[in-house]
Structure 1
């Protein structure tokens, strides 16, 4: 397999257009640069560069390789900076926005602990379930559920949250336990308005494939905690994140419904504006949050 160092050397040759300049930059001889590029070509089985006395020209495979690997040095440096930054003294201010559930259940304590661990840091955390425009609102970091396609933002996956269908024992005793997803169409299902597919379009899994089934009910809310309370009161079934109702399930005040059919899993992401070198304090806070999620992964 080709060495990463040779790939970096190849990108430098293209960027500087000269074996001699790259040799000087790396304190090696021109012949060494040439031999390593030839070795890379040999290992890949293709010619990457047309060499003439006047200039270097990329072949078609060379074009593909260059465009796929030209950021490799920056990515490596960012990765090293992110790790080494954790041992440094951090300072500064972070404005962040998190979903209400995540803030109440985990992040308030996790983020305040981060500030205690780094006395030079201050964090302003807003709890908001609605879309936050990081750039216009001058927000440094957002924790979001579900990936957002936006070229001006970077989304780092932190964890996956499993959702479950649940009901109170009182509701099950009165209306019966649904044995199939279609049976839910004869039950009062409580809808979550923040769900991207719609409050009453519930996700299930069949033969390893996800599908959506439309259910119905007399109550919906954009607040999952409100749905939990309605479900505890015996007013219907809800599709809720495991972390929100974990204790209720353990205590028996709620029971899981159709566990082998429920297929909703929502990714939790840390999202921040695109920069070539994000602030170490942002990277450190993201890693701190990720570690906290991993500590209680059974609840998710």
Structure 2
């Protein structure tokens, strides 16, 4: 029977296409890697690789073995990751950036609670809506809502945030209630400038694909709290994350105008720089934050 560590080594060779790269990763020589793969081939009685001076290519048998070998490698990686950092002391400093809404809703308290659990730890938490540069600005962790494009970062999905279109009963009494999304064109729409799409483009579900309704209004801001207050004051219709106005809607201070039609739903992610295994304190903080979100998932 082949040794498990030889299967893991073969999976690495298949992934990197290079004996030298795999040798470097495992602190081995090229000849040792080559001999172990050759021995694996002899044990199985099949050729796994086509070797040329320029590259390595999997044979049909190699491709078949790789499907199982990569599962063994993944299981080994996960096992090592599960126990790595057990000896780490939870201390030091963490620099984190979180969105304004989530920060005020739950993260400020969650981070303070985490620090209380680990007295040797300090956290610098920035509440802001801009998309910070993790690497250049030295952030260890960012909670981000939206879309992740930078492949140099790792993102762990926490949950999704549903958006709503809402207005105060007083506004509806004065201006009437829009019956369908297109009716919003005739209303004063308070616009949230912090969006991946334009502030005046409001997304609704449609047949086949979502549709954008172009709205207008007398206020545009990147501060969601200002939008909430404007809507509560009866000054217009707001398009915001549901978690921001969940309690207002529950109390009847705001009315969800299109509860089943708003198409905007964004993921909330814990994002950190690319690394095979982040420090234990970061892993623990992510899990702590994730649980706090899940505890109030009904608001999202």
Q: Sort the TM-score into its range (normalised by shorter chain).
A: 0.7 to 0.9
Partner of residue 259, structure 1:
259
Give the CA deviation at 1:151: 2.6
Instruction: State the Cα deviation string for residues 170-204 of structure 1 (Å, max 9, x = none).
Output: 11111111111101111111100001111110011
**Aligned-partner SS, 2:112:** helix
Task: Report the 3-state secondary structure (helix = DSSP H, G, I; strand = E; otherwise coil) of the residue aligned with 1:206.
Answer: coil
Instruction: Find the residue that maps to 1:165 and give its secondary structure.
Output: strand
Query: What residue number does 1:219 align with?
Result: 219
Q: Write the mapping of 1:217-256 to structure 2, written as runs, cut at 5 A.
A: 217-256=217-256
Q: Deviation of residue 284 (structure 1)?
A: 1.3
Relative to 1, partners in 2 of residues 1:142 and 1:231: Cα closer, same or farther, differing over 3 Å? same
So what's the TM-score if we normalise by structure 1?
A: 0.80
Q: Following TM superposition, by how much is the alpha carbon of 1:34 offset from its aligned partner in structure 2, in angstroms?
A: 4.3
Of the structure 1 ranges 227-236 and 176-185, higher mean CA displacement relative to structure 2 is found in 176-185
Counterpart residue number, 1:150 = 150
TM-score of the pair, normalised by structure 2: 0.80
| Equivalent position SS for 1:249 | helix
State the secondary structure of the residue aligned to 2:235: coil
Aligned positions, number: 280
Instruction: Structure 1 unaligned segments of length 5 or more: list them.
Output: 24-29, 39-46
Aligned counterparts of 2:84 and 2:167: Cα–Cα separation in 1: 47
Q: Which ranges in structure 2 are unaligned for 5 or more consecutive residues? A: 14-18, 23-29
CA distance in 1, matches of 2:86, 2:159: 20
Query: 2:247 is paired with a residue of what secondary structure?
Result: helix
Q: What is the aligned-residue RMSD (CA, Å)?
A: 3.4
Matched, 1:123 2:126: no
Match of 2:101?
Answer: 101
- Measure, in 1, the Cα distance between the counterparts of 2:204 and 2:5: 46
SS at match of 2:150: coil
* 1:15-49 Cα deviation digits (max 9, x unpaired): 467678548xxxxxx867644585xxxxxxxx742
For 1:91-145, what per-residue CA distance to the aligned partner results, in whole angstroms no more than 9, with x for missing partners?
Answer: 2210111111111111001111111122222111011111211222111111111
Sort the Cα spacing of 1:19 and 1:121 in 2 relative to 1 into closer, same or farther, 3 A: closer
Quote the residue 2:180 is aligned against: 180
